[in-house]
Structure formats: structure tokens, C-alpha cells
Structure 1
Amino acid sequence: MELVRDLADPARREAAWESLKSLGSAAVPSLLREMLDEASPVDWFRIKLLLHAVGPAAYDDVLAALETAPDEEARRRVSAVFRGLGAVERYVEALSHPSAAVRECAVVGIQSACSVLFGRTPAYRGDVAPVAEALVPLLADPDADVAERALLVLPMLGDVVLAPLRRVRCEGPGALRAPALTALAAAGGEEALSERDRAAVARLIRIKAIDDRAEPLEACSLSWIAVPGGDRAGIAEVLGLYGERLATFALGYSVVLHDSDDWPDHRRVYVTPEVDGWTLVLGPWCNPVDPERAEEVLGAVTALSRRYGRAQAYFFGEHGGGSGWALAEEGVVVRRHDASSRGKGQISEMGDRLPEELALHAEWTGAEEEAAEWEDTSPYMAPDLALRLGATSPFALGPRTVVRGRGVVALTPLAAEQANRRRAHTASEPAARRVRGMKSAPGGVGALR
């Protein structure tokens, strides 16, 4: 116990850490007792890291502590330890544990050790195929949190999950078929689905589109282009969009939310039906203040305004993401402003502040001077400014929105460029060295269930 308490002493911490680590499983009970003592001078997070260093040898004691955790705080701390032990084979055993909390922690432990998402090299060097097989039944777990976690983690394990998921789609059991379809789409995109499943998805979309209703898009980060009218085909022609697939609002939003996460995907957009007299094109490809996209978006807005009289592009990010907008009329840029956290300082200001901007600023601040607190208000303006400028906003859609036509998910010119490069690269490689091409970006099928 003295060694454990030495972890709180900067002068003795390093020596105590090495001694406790060398003790292995023998040190685990004392470390757990100290970690669960909320009055302890030792930072529980430091103990967690030490237990992770002990690794699978700590598994049995940590599992017992998780099973008997007396309160929520104790459960939270032990869960954090349990998930990072790297004991994949033991996690697989725990997937059938009677406690939902243990099952969910085991799934997260598998995620931590086995995920290959975003090119990550997994810590686990064993065969992941049996792990995937064991995870699949949890898609129908009686506990909703466990089922949701399994659905999230399976696609993170890579192509190894495709075979068991396809088998479920063909052979059942029935309770697993629907979530298996969602997991398949997330893991491998459209090409992972059988022809039968693709037809089933298309049929379900057509049915749901009949009574589709507008709804607001609740997103932490969103980019969109607004064009007056409902000429979806003409807008697609100007922007170079192709490969349109029918999509409901829910499905389109699901795609946009997926593509707008921390690793934005510029290959797809959701094009709404005509909503209150405007067509919206949504997705990170439309961001007018992304340094990688700003000039192309400005050119797209200008081209659209040449054809439709005016066009507008917006970005809005909550939690400090800021705002940005680019506006054009009759082929001329009227205004571009960047008040975003990412583009700030890189995107050139164009045009003078619009009366609508100044009016919104004055309304929010009560300031008569244009410059007063401008830096504080402009990062929040995009959704409201769009309405002030006569366009609709994806945040403002709802039951009263007048909807004409149908929405689609479409591919952008960037998708075509990447596909062409991939084909050229594949053709130049020896057959034995060819690798599987870029998957269709996941996201969306779950919104149809």
C-alpha cells in the first residue's frame, strides 16, 4: 500500500510505478482499492494507466470489481480500466456476461484493441475473425446500449466483418437482419450489399419518400449551398454532381452528419427537394470557408448565380466552430466573410458588410457602432443571416415547410477524380499487389429502419 501511495509523491512516483508494474497481478487488488477511494491523494487516472500497463494479467480482479461496483462513480472508474486492458480473448468471453454493463465494456475493449478505422494499426495481433463473429449476435442484444455499441464497433474492425454480416442477411436469425444491413453498409458501403439488399433498400426509400416531410437538421457542424427554385437537375449540372440516389430527409441528413464529422468526406452531398422556394445542397464539400474548398465553392456559387440570379453558401459550427458565408448575384460575388475557427485568417474578405448583417448584429448587441463586438457576434450569424437574406436554412425546416419534389444523395466531382486516380493506380499495379479500392462512404441506412 505504501508503494501505491508513493504514486502521489512526484519524487517517488517513477520508482513506485516501476515496482508496482513489476509485481503484475499481485499489485492489482491494492491498486483497485486505492482507485475506488475517492479520498485518496493518488490521482485515479494515474492508477488506471498503471493497470493498463499491467494488462491482461489484471483482468480477473478488474472484472470482479466491475461486477461489484457499489455506485456509479466506482463503476465509471473500473469501466475505464476494464476497457483498456487489451484482453481481447477475455472480452469475447464477457460478451455473454449477464450484466449489460460488462457486455458493453467488453465491446468497447474490443474497439480499443482491434479498431482499424482511419488507417489505425490495431494493438491486437490475433485473428479478428472470431471476434467479429462473437460481436454480431449483440446487434440484437436486449439492452439497447449494448446493441448500439456493437453496431458502432463492428464496422471499425474492417473487412473481416463482412462475411458474418452477409451470412446473417441470408440465413438469419430474423432479429439480426435489420441491424446487420446497417452494419454492412457502414463497414463496406453499397458494394458490400447483395443485389437483393440493394433492391430492398431502394424499395424502402421509395416507400418512405411518398410521405416524406421536412424536418430541421440538428448538426454541430454543417455546410450548405442555397439556390432559389427547384431545378435540381440544373443545379447538379452546374455543380458537376452525378450518381443521384433518391433519399428521404432522414436519410439525407444521416449521410450529411456522417460526412461532416472530424474527418470530413467531400465525395457526397444531399440535395433537398425544393423547400420554401429554395433547393439546398448540404455537405462539407459546400463549405465556403474551408481553406481547401473556399475558392471552388466561391466559383460554384458564382456560376449558380449566373444561372439562377443568386446563390449563397454557408458554414455553421456550434461549440466554437464559427460561421462563414459567400454570396453571389448575377454572376458577381457580393460578399464573403469568414468567422470560422478553421478558416480564419486564410480566407480573404470580399465585399462590404451587408445591411442584413449589420441589422442582425445591432439586434443581438444593441450596439449602434458597426464595429462594436463584431468579432463576438459574427461567428453565430450564419443560420439567421440565411433567413434574413431570403433563403431558407436547414435548421429552420419543419412541418410548415412547403416541399416540392424529392431529395437525392449525389456524388461530387471529387468522387469522380478519386475514382479515376484509383483506376489508373490499379491498372498500373501487378495483379498480386492490387488492393481493394476506396469504399463507398458509410452512413445512412440506419435512418430508414
Structure 2
Amino acid sequence: MDVIKDLAYRDRREAARAHLVASGRAAVRPLIEELLDETSAVPYRDIQNLLATGIGPDACDEVLSALAGAEDEEARRRLSGTFTSFGSVERYREALSHPSAEVRNAAAVGIQFACSVAYGRAPRPGVDYARLIEALIPLLADPDPGTAQRAEWVLTMLGPGVEEPLRRVRADGPGKLRARALSVLAAVGGEEALSPKDRATVERLIRVTLLHDEAVPLDTCFTSWIAVPTGDQRSVGEVLGLFDARPATFALGQSVGAHDSHDGAEFGRVYVTPEVDGWTLVLGPWCDPADPERAEEVLHAVTELSRRHGRAQAYYFGEQGGGSAWLIAENGSVVRRFCASWKDDDAALRLGEPLPEERAACVEEGVTPVGDTEDGENDEEWLDLAPYLAPHLAARLGVSPFDLGPHTTVHGSGLVALTPYARAHGRPSTGAYAI
């Protein structure tokens, strides 16, 4: 239909759209062909919108059929995007059992878009969520790994109604669904959603894994940590006021740290490493020496740790352009605190004189050492370099969590513990974490 080409021209677009909508089913196949033509001057998203919201249900079956037969990745991407735009929940539910993995995956995405109650969204009126959940659960064992993962994600977004059906799967099977059912339960309701038997199973798995646990990099994108040159976890925990400590592998500690750093800073929980190359690290947003809510308490805690153990440090590093901060204390006195995050109030946190390691980093990067210019710590070259230095300084001054690995000498086992913040503000919610 030549009128499809008119969609590329602003002065003809509305008339062309009206004509195509009026044509109904007759326009669907030509529109799909145009959608898949990568040389077309018509924006493919305009065609997606026309099929899904202009022609609507009359186009759905042909789009699904084309998706099932698509032979290249770009065609599948465009057709999947079109199919998930229809908003037809019943059609998506039926398509969950389609022979094509591409269709099953797209159907799950369509349910996610149309029915998710995550992030405070209200349930979609008129939708039988229980029926949707029952249709999605078998996909947890889908032969296509991407579809199985998608089903797991979508189930976590459909609200607490998923818990009872998944507890039945955990209790009665089938066995091929049990592992992912456990992950969904943990993600939706945390530890409290698990049966006593499942909680015991998880705790046993952690204990067994700890027997051969190896250090891994503790990179959480927005990473905050305290470092103390001791293997005495109990002493560190006493000074920091930690409580309800439970055994945790490195992978679990990293997973908890990543969760607590990404979903809004969670101050109620930290991961305490075993002794790593002679140091104990405490990981979590609660340790951030530059956070406006935490800075002074972290200053006090690190000072007290240094009084007991000779030295103590705290750092923050935002890997995605979030800047750096470091706090160094020795024998009960602050030696240095510095924040470099491109914020106007960074200067208010500065204490002490530049460290030799800071100046050495400048020399290595070929910039004027901090403190050597008239502007001192406000020198532009230094302020461009400093936001990236926290991991480097941590390694120079002790141990960096980013450098941990199989080469790290480890003594003891790690812990996840609650902080004093949890006493005042309630225990943090739990979720699905790696072990």
C-alpha cells in the first residue's frame, strides 16, 4: 500500500494514518513488511504504534505469527516491541504456551508492562492475577534460559499473590521449578516468605560453601567501606555496635552490598569480611565517610577503631561517575578526610593535609601534586583526578575491596550484620541474593 510511505512525511502523516486505521486487517501485512524494512524512511516505532494502538486487536495475531517466524535479531526486536505494545493481557497469557521461545518471552514482557505492581503501581483493573501467575510459573523451567529468567523477573513484579503458589511448588514440585521458585519467593517476600525448611536449607548451603569460600572483588558500583588492620571481627563489631551477625560468603556479601547500594542507601546492614591480607573490611552505605547523614558518625567510628587498632580508614567510590571520598585515622586522631564528587559542599568535609599517597598519585598521572599550587586543594588538575582515587589510595594504604581475589590470603569467614541504624529504624528487608 503506497499510502504507508506517506507516514514518513509530516504533511501527509495524519491522513495516511487515518486511511490505514480504516483499512483494518487489510493494512496489517503491508505494515509489518514496512516495519521489517530497515531501509524504510518511515520510523519503525511509528508503525509499531499504528499497529498496536491504531488498528489494535485485529493486528495482534499477525504480529505474533510474524514474530514466531522471524529469522534475524533486528526483526525479532521490532516485532517483539510491537507485540508487547498491544496491552492485551489475555492474549499474552495464551501466548505463554506458544511453541516459539521468542513469543513466550515477548508475552511475559507484555504481562510485565501491563500488570506489574512494582514500585507502588496499582493492580490493573479486571485482571485475574492468580490466573496469570499460574500460567507464568511453568516458564520458570522453560528450555530457553532467557525466557526462564524473564518469567522469574515478571513473577517478582506481580505482588504477594505469587507467594502461596510458589510455596506449593517448593513443597510439592515439580522439581525442575523449585530452584527458581525459591529465588522468586526471596525476591518478593524476603526470608520471611520462605518456609522454615527452606530457611534451614539456605543456612546449610551457606555453611557448606564457606568451607571453600574464596575472596572475590567487592564492587557494588557505589561502594562504601571501612578498613581496619586486624583479623578480630568481634572487636571491630563491638566498636561499630554491630549485632545479629550471620555467616556469609564473599558472593553473598557482595550481593547484599550491591542491593543495599543501588535500591536507595540501606544503612541498616553491612557485610564484614573475614581477615583479608591482614585487614577486616566492613562494606555497605552505612560506612560512607561523605554521606551527609552519616559523615560525622563515620568520623567518630573510624577514630575509635584507630584508637583500638592503631589505624582505620573509610572510603566511598562511585564507579559510575559518583566520585571518591576517604577518611584516614591513626591512634585516635583524624589524619585526613577528603571528598571529591564535584559537589559544592565537598570542601566542607576536608580535614588534615594531603597525604603522601595523594601527592604520589598526582606525580604518577603527570599533574601538579596537590598542595603545590596557589589554590592548594582547589587546583583544577587535582580536582579532576581526585574523584577516581579511592580504590587506588585504599590499595596503597592497606587493602582495596576491588582487588580481592583467589590470590588474597583469607582467615576465617565473613558475616552479614545489622548496624545501630537498624535498631532505631527497623530491620532492613531481605531479598534474593547470590550465595
Deviation of the 1:17 alpha carbon: 5.3
Structure 1 vs Structure 2 CA RMSD = 2.5
CA distance in 2, matches of 1:399, 1:273: 14
Secondary structure class of the residue paired with 1:325: strand
Please tell me whether Structure 1 or Structure 2 has the larger radius of gyration of its CA atoms. 2
Gaps of 5+ in 2: 371-378
CA distance in 2, matches of 1:394, 1:373: 27
- Is 1:443 aligned to 2:432, yes or no? yes
Deviation of the 1:123 alpha carbon: 4.6
Gaps of 5+ in 1: 420-437
Call closer, same or farther: CA 1:324–1:84 in 2, change over 3 Å.
Answer: farther
Q: Which amino acid aligns with 1:413?
A: P
Deviations 1:83-130 (A, max 9, x none): 232222222222222222222222222222222222233556412111
Secondary structure class of the residue paired with 1:65: helix
Secondary structure class of the residue paired with 1:200: helix
Q: Which amino acid aligns with 1:378?
A: A
Partner of 1:175: 176
Matches within 5 A, 1:119-130: 119-123=120-124, 125-130=126-131
- Is 1:415 aligned to 2:416, yes or no? no
Partner of 1:67: 68
Secondary structure class of the residue paired with 2:383: helix
Partner of 1:41: 41
Deviations 1:329-364 (A, max 9, x none): 3333332222236xx22342413322111211221x
Partner of 1:197: 198
Secondary structure class of the residue paired with 1:324: strand
Matches within 5 A, 1:294-313: 294-313=295-314
Secondary structure class of the residue paired with 1:383: helix
CA distance in 2, matches of 1:337, 1:249: 29
CA distance in 2, matches of 1:153, 1:102: 15
Call closer, same or farther: CA 1:65–1:215 in 2, change over 3 Å.
Answer: same
Partner of 1:384: 392
Partner of 1:345: 344
Deviation of the 1:387 alpha carbon: 0.8
CA distance in 2, matches of 1:439, 1:90: 39
Partner of 1:400: 407
Call closer, same or farther: CA 1:70–1:182 in 2, change over 3 Å.
Answer: closer
Deviation of the 1:26 alpha carbon: 5.8
Aligned residues: 424
Deviation of the 1:166 alpha carbon: 0.2
TM-score of the superposition, structure 2-length normalised? Answer: 0.89
Call closer, same or farther: CA 1:124–1:22 in 2, change over 3 Å.
Answer: farther
Sequence identity (%)? 59
Deviation of the 1:169 alpha carbon: 0.8
Secondary structure class of the residue paired with 2:403: coil
2:93 touches 2:132 (CA, 8 Å); kept in 1? yes
CA distance in 1, matches of 2:291, 2:20: 49
Matches within 5 A, 1:278-297: 278-297=279-298
Matches within 5 A, 1:14-413: 27-54=27-54, 56-123=57-124, 125-340=126-341, 344-347=343-346, 348-351=348-351, 352-363=353-364, 365-370=365-370, 371=379, 373-389=381-397, 391-413=398-420
Partner of 1:424: none
Q: Which amino acid aligns with 1:8?
A: A
Q: Which amino acid aligns with 2:410?
A: V
CA distance in 2, matches of 1:15, 1:173: 55
Call closer, same or farther: CA 1:208–1:65 in 2, change over 3 Å.
Answer: same
2:339 touches 2:350 (CA, 8 Å); kept in 1? no
CA distance in 2, matches of 1:31, 1:300: 65
Secondary structure class of the residue paired with 2:402: coil
Partner of 2:375: none
Q: Which amino acid aligns with 2:41?
A: P
2:268 touches 2:420 (CA, 8 Å); kept in 1? yes
Partner of 1:426: none
CA distance in 2, matches of 1:411, 1:250: 18
Secondary structure class of the residue paired with 2:213: coil
1:273 touches 1:279 (CA, 8 Å); kept in 2? yes
Secondary structure class of the residue paired with 2:337: strand
Deviations 1:405-443 (A, max 9, x none): 211112223333333xxxxxxxxxxxxxxxxxx982313
CA distance in 1, matches of 2:18, 2:339: 51
Deviation of the 1:183 alpha carbon: 1.5
Call closer, same or farther: CA 1:57–1:158 in 2, change over 3 Å.
Answer: farther
TM-score of the superposition, structure 1-length normalised? Answer: 0.86
Deviation of the 1:259 alpha carbon: 2.1
CA distance in 2, matches of 1:116, 1:319: 29
Deviations 1:168-211 (A, max 9, x none): 11101111122211211111101101111111111111111112
1:88 touches 1:124 (CA, 8 Å); kept in 2? no
Secondary structure class of the residue paired with 1:395: helix
Q: Which amino acid aligns with 1:345?
A: D
2:247 touches 2:416 (CA, 8 Å); kept in 1? yes
